[in-house]
Structure 1
């Protein structure tokens, strides 16, 4: 009986492949890292063929580790990081690296569009569900056309990293609706490429992959994939979706009132609804998982990277025990860090500001504050930032019993987990498993091939959660702190452009 399945998650820094049994338990896995290249200011690229080989190696090794269970694998299903862009020629050979979501070289084109188009920019958001930001392929295409015109003209197609891997396997250019939605070129209402967005990008539908629902699948492996994987050719391949929506599914945050919080290097907060829901001011995203499941929320640039930054400043030792000590020492400081507020925009910010020029700051420093206050303020600031995004989507879960499901590296810190519960004043459930996007891909796959009738019927054993209960004594102080945080963030926003220009000017003058 083919009741085992493989989930593949193509991430920003690594590819992970996990074999799951019929109850959602991981039984074999393999991962492969690859570098993020930044050869010029604002660049964040990866080599497509390195990722292709990482996927093949991880799949092959997972199959090898599964032993006799390989005969019981029924399908493979995909998750992928969003917003990547690769220009390819007529043979499918890459003309560029994979330009990732973190690449901000298109920022001038975003600023010009917002300034020049006004109401049209609002309408674009209403059609696509994506805030205007350098992460999106729409503006990457504008940058490519103007800054790399030879490549733009030579390109036969513009595709994402998952599209490229599937092409190498099957010889077909196909993309799923969730990945297409992340490009800002896809119309969520017509479920086709958006005509006005295509004009802005100066591309035609023929230069993009063919659109498919996330439940689309190939009936069997290609000869290439059979050889690469070591699997039987009768295994199906589900096109799948993107990592954010699939993470919601993987942690069980799929019902009304469920909210998923993820903090790794960056972070995100998401909730699921039966129909698309947009923010009136265009500050949240809305991506499809299936026709009847839409995931709304916002990504933040600054999650674990903020804690890593303060750690690197205060402690040069990279030992994990030092991280734990910093967190434990910060527990000595009362909630609110005695009025020290940290705006965590170290790498610009996506939600809720959507400002690539945003800068981080400590506000309220006095002689009373020491490094423990600073660490606590950093941990609180990252969660206050996520809570500000939550404040934009909580209307979707109004009058419901809210459940928060938390995943990511931050769950290794008892203090950080407690801060989440205290700021949200809601119980926080932490799944026992960590590969939520891989599991989400498999659960979507079971629905796609007809093993389950709905996503809500996912055949997963009752998960074991750690539950963090909010401290009611901290409710009032965090409510006050959040109001202060919001006010300070709004005040500082008017200064980010000037700060950015000043920093760039003096970096150049000093030769750095």
Structure 2
């Protein structure tokens, strides 16, 4: 039997999932690593920790599957977090750790680029909003504040490209990851001259752009032995985690949106060509050259729920551990006892700045409307509603660009919460469908590998493997509360924006 492994390179962990020839899960392994926040606005990862996690995850799934001599791993394919940047010298020695999408130290240079008007010109060609998340901004920061690194750098890669370089000696980047750098022209599928000129780097410092279906087959022997696979096993480059998430939940038809809430979150739809928002609110990233994912990412998703748990519900967290139940299940039960709208309590979830819809790295979170009747339970439900309202704001911008939404496919950690799924259905007033396949990113990577190797003709084959789905219908009883609160949430976010920079600068000034 032939097996394939889908690898999901995430922000805080790497997961490897082995599928059989019917795309059923055979084995999986998940290996975590740290996200370093040693300084204000920093969010970095260690290269060796990530590489070790990858090798450990791959070797564990191969070992767990207990393949026979006649069985083989036909391919390994990748989904990867986007927007990371690593600098290397001429000898390929790293000069930085992995600077992740969550790192916002480039905020000053991002705002200057936006104010100049050049940023919007670059956005119109690259499809990546001007924001500190993007390598474009990170390069401006490196040039200004780390010139000793900037001047030594001979090569720039992202985390997946580093993995492939270490495994194969390659220097390539798939067009999906490239389309999220802010440096890649999505219309001519090459590095953009204006973006390069602004950052002060050259094409020679960047990898060769390749199709999603490109693969390598000369795995270094020492790694092949440790993993337990032949050194000629194809490793397919795959794509970014956002575009693959749409594929993984079969949200590739017009009007079908994929909503993902993990640590962060996003809402995305697929178009057959790049679509640029005149107001610069949405991204356009490649799945492949014929499928373009248009949407908006939010910084604040499940990590805000975790913040609420750790800072307001420590006792309940301990109780859940003693009872052997999931602490988030206990918390959603508490939140479910509060009526829709949290009795007029609104939460803006901008604990980590924000990307879509406001694209303001200085944004900060807040509760609004607190009065004597509100309890921790109200605050908890308001947190979940605030995350949802924020994604709803993104959807309004998305509808302006690509047209109305017909239905929602849900994936990520929130998709396991019946309360949260119903909340999305009620606020969006759209059916929310949760596919049975929770390993959607890894499955999508495997589907890409099957197309790369000629085993299937097109990506739509994935619809045969999604499995059963649960659909949550909007509850009209909750419409009135959410219809009244959503405009307040939106207006308030705009009014507060004039003070976000001031409070953010105060926090940076007084940070320990």
The normalised TM-score by structure 1 is 0.95
2:81–2:240 CA contact under 8 A, matched in 1? yes
Q: Give the 5 Å matches for 1:245-256.
A: 245-256=243-254
Distance across 1 between alignment mates of 2:179 and 2:258? 20
Distance across 1 between alignment mates of 2:433 and 2:460? 18
Q: Return closer, same or farther for 1:465/1:162 CA change in 2, 3 Å cut-off.
A: same
- Size of the aligned set, in residue pairs, is 504
Q: CA deviation at 1:255?
A: 1.4
2:262–2:413 CA contact under 8 A, matched in 1? yes
Q: Return closer, same or farther for 1:485/1:399 CA change in 2, 3 Å cut-off.
A: closer
2:437–2:466 CA contact under 8 A, matched in 1? no
The runs of 5 or more residues in structure 1 that have no matched partner are none
Distance across 2 between alignment mates of 1:218 and 1:502? 49
Can you list the C-alpha shifts for 1:192-234, whole angstroms capped at 9, x where unaligned?
Answer: 0000101111110101111101111124544344223211234
Q: CA deviation at 1:326?
A: 2.9
Distance across 2 between alignment mates of 1:28 and 1:121? 45
2:217–2:234 CA contact under 8 A, matched in 1? yes
Distance across 2 between alignment mates of 1:224 and 1:218? 16
Corresponding residue number in structure 2 for 1:316: 314
Q: Secondary structure at the match of 2:66?
A: helix
Q: Return closer, same or farther for 1:499/1:114 CA change in 2, 3 Å cut-off.
A: same
Can you list the C-alpha shifts for 1:413-471, whole angstroms capped at 9, x where unaligned?
Answer: 32211101101111111122322111111111111221111111237435111221110
1:220–1:237 CA contact under 8 A, matched in 2? no
Corresponding residue number in structure 2 for 1:406: 410
Q: Give the 5 Å matches for 1:143-292.
A: 143-219=141-217, 221-292=219-290
Corresponding residue number in structure 2 for 1:49: 48
Corresponding residue number in structure 2 for 1:112: 112
The answer as to 2:483 corresponding to 1:483 is no
1:246–1:440 CA contact under 8 A, matched in 2? yes
Which range moves more in the overlay, 176-185 or 148-157? 148-157
1:341–1:362 CA contact under 8 A, matched in 2? yes
Q: Secondary structure at the match of 1:19?
A: strand
The answer as to 2:435 corresponding to 1:456 is no
1:259–1:403 CA contact under 8 A, matched in 2? yes
Corresponding residue number in structure 1 for 2:422: 418
Find the partner of 2:450 among 427, 446, 459: 446
The answer as to 2:63 corresponding to 1:64 is yes
Distance across 2 between alignment mates of 1:86 and 1:10? 15
Q: Give the 5 Å matches for 1:359-370.
A: 359-370=364-375
Find the partner of 1:390 among 395, 415, 438: 395
The runs of 5 or more residues in structure 2 that have no matched partner are none
CA RMSD of aligned residues (A): 1.7
Corresponding residue number in structure 1 for 2:23: 24
Q: Secondary structure at the match of 1:135?
A: coil
The answer as to 2:86 corresponding to 1:86 is yes
The answer as to 2:360 corresponding to 1:355 is yes
Distance across 2 between alignment mates of 1:191 and 1:356? 28
Distance across 2 between alignment mates of 1:218 and 1:150? 34
Q: Secondary structure at the match of 1:240?
A: strand
Q: CA deviation at 1:356?
A: 0.7
Distance across 2 between alignment mates of 1:221 and 1:360? 46
Q: Return closer, same or farther for 1:52/1:326 CA change in 2, 3 Å cut-off.
A: closer
Distance across 2 between alignment mates of 1:490 and 1:106? 22
Q: CA deviation at 1:368?
A: 2.0
